[in-house]
Amino acid sequence: MIASIPSPSSSGIGIGPFEIHVYGLMYAIAVTAAVLIVRRRWKALGGDPELPLQVAIWAFPAGLIGGRLYFDITSWGEMPHTWYGPFAVWDGGLGIWGGIAAGAAVGIWRVHKAGVSVPAFMDCTAPALLVAQAIGRVGNYFNQELFGGPSNLPWALQISPAHRPEGYAHFATFQPTFLYEIIWNLALAAFLVWLGHRRRIRPPGLFALYVMGYSAFRIFEESLRVDPAHHILGQRLNFWVAILLTLAGAAWFVWAQRDRPGADDPPIVQPPGDRAVTATSS
């Protein structure tokens, strides 16, 4: 083995008598980054810059609940065998699709309540969600989870014996699928920002591309991962979920871009002071 990525010595950071779990810390940083990005993009449309934070206050807890429920339902065998096992998010175990679905549902409710364009706001959030997911994957590195099969590549990831899946105890280095996802998410976020500025994309077209693009990558990622999972027809459950969401995202994008009455009307947003303005999509 010429080179590899070392494993972290601990999943937490000790500060005096306290220990901060890096997994949770990364999620806090991810939410902060997402709010700042959406705030900037929404303000550029003429919207109230305080709305993204108000939405996050509702959507983030909903996303945590949805993500954990998805994990508990699809990976119940991986929960800690304690009474608090179903709730132990600090040990990892958040299903991204459950989190996005629950967070998006509650976020849409809050945006609709504010009386502004839901599709336009969704397009503002698409790149931000990808950046947040990339930051969150750093927590998976510290937890030594979500890696692929054994590998001798220079960027292979060292996994300590306690975190190696059954049947892989004699392998030392594995594919860092979390790192691949970080790179993909950041690249896709940059592409969506570029596309929104260079092409006229009808909302929520960017969000639909986010669903399609992220899910398409997960098809590849799920084919590499070796952590325990439920299988259907020889493939991991999330492999099939990724295929369905890739197709759904593509169909959603085509539907959003079709010619229809009022489709070219710019979104109406509500800036501070309740003064309605007309703004163009970014």
Please answer whether residues 62 and 103 qualify as being in contact, where contact means their C-beta atoms are separated by less than 8 angstroms. Answer: yes
Secondary structure E strands in the chain: 12-15, 18-21, 157-158, 173-174, 231-232, 235-236, 268-269, 277-278
What is the spatial distance between Cα 185 and Cα 219, in angstroms, rounded to a whole number?
14
What is the spatial distance between Cα 133 and Cα 185, in angstroms, rounded to a whole number?
7
Please answer whether residues 210 and 131 qualify as being in contact, where contact means their C-beta atoms are separated by less than 8 angstroms. Answer: no
Q: Is the dihedral of CA 48, 52, 53, 54 positive or negative?
A: positive
pLDDT tens column, 126-181: 999 999 999 999 988 998 988 999 999 999 999 999 899 989 999 999 999 999 99
Alpha-carbon distance values, 65 to 70, 168, 251 (Å): 9, 32, 28
End-to-end CA distance of the chain: give it in Å, rounded: 47
Q: Which stretches in the chain have pLDDT values below 50? A: 1, 83, 264-266, 271-282
In 3D, which of 189, 235, 236, 204 has the Cα closest to residue 95? Answer: 236
Q: What is the pLDDT of residue 66?
A: 86
Q: What is the pLDDT of residue 279?
A: 38
Residue with the two structure tokens 């590195």? 141
Length of the chain: 282
Chain mean position to CA 206: 15
Task: Tell me 5's DSSP state.
Answer: B
What are the residue boundaries of the structural domains of the chain, listed by start? Answer: 19-257
Give the 3-state secondary structure of 146-173.
Answer: CCECECCCCCCEECCHHHCCCCCCCCCE
Q: What is the pLDDT of residue 85?
A: 52
Q: What is the pLDDT of residue 271?
A: 47
Which residue(s) pair with 277 in the sheet? Answer: 269
